[in-house]
Amino acid sequence: MAKCDQGYLCEYCSEPVKNIVESSLYLRYVLGEVEVHELFAAPERHLKCDHDLAQFIKHEKFAPPEFDTEIKQTIPDEEQRKNKEARITAGWLRLREVVQLGIPITDYPLSHQS
Ligand SMILES: [Zn+2]
């Protein structure tokens, strides 16, 4: 693993973010919300510590953190919420996939997928 892929501390819980699969920053990158150059400058955070993002991952392999009801109500519209869940879950699956593929980081984002 490259040096820049490890050793970042989560801004929320202060524990190291050991793997990009547990990184909310990388998930945002895969989703196209963060630019590649921002990966190394932006604060790192665990997915489980990023409730805004983690609440939209709906997958049997993802153990959701516990949320209070206030957070769950950020998107009251059912359809909007489902769309966002589909998009972010797809990004999360993509993140797990690219780690296995060993492809260049610039090919990580979903929009680069052929
Ligand atoms: Zn954390």
Q: pLDDT tens for residues 43-53?
A: 999 999 998 89
Q: Under a CB-based contact definition with an 8 Å cutoff, are residues 45 and 11 in contact? A: yes
Mean pLDDT of the chain: 86
CA of 8 to the centre of ligand 1 (A): 10
HSE-up (13 A, CA, CB side) for residue 96: 10
Could you give the 3-state DSSP secondary structure of residue 67? coil
pLDDT of residue 23: 96
CA of 101 to the centre of ligand 1 (A): 26
Tokens 């501390």 found at:
9
CA of 20 to the centre of ligand 1 (A): 13
Q: pLDDT tens for residues 2-52?
A: 444 456 899 999 999 999 999 999 999 999 999 999 998 899 999 999 988
Tokens read off for 68: 């209070």
CA of 15 to the centre of ligand 1 (A): 6
CA of 114 to the centre of ligand 1 (A): 32
CA of 95 to the centre of ligand 1 (A): 18
pLDDT at 71 over 60: no
pLDDT at 1 over 50: no
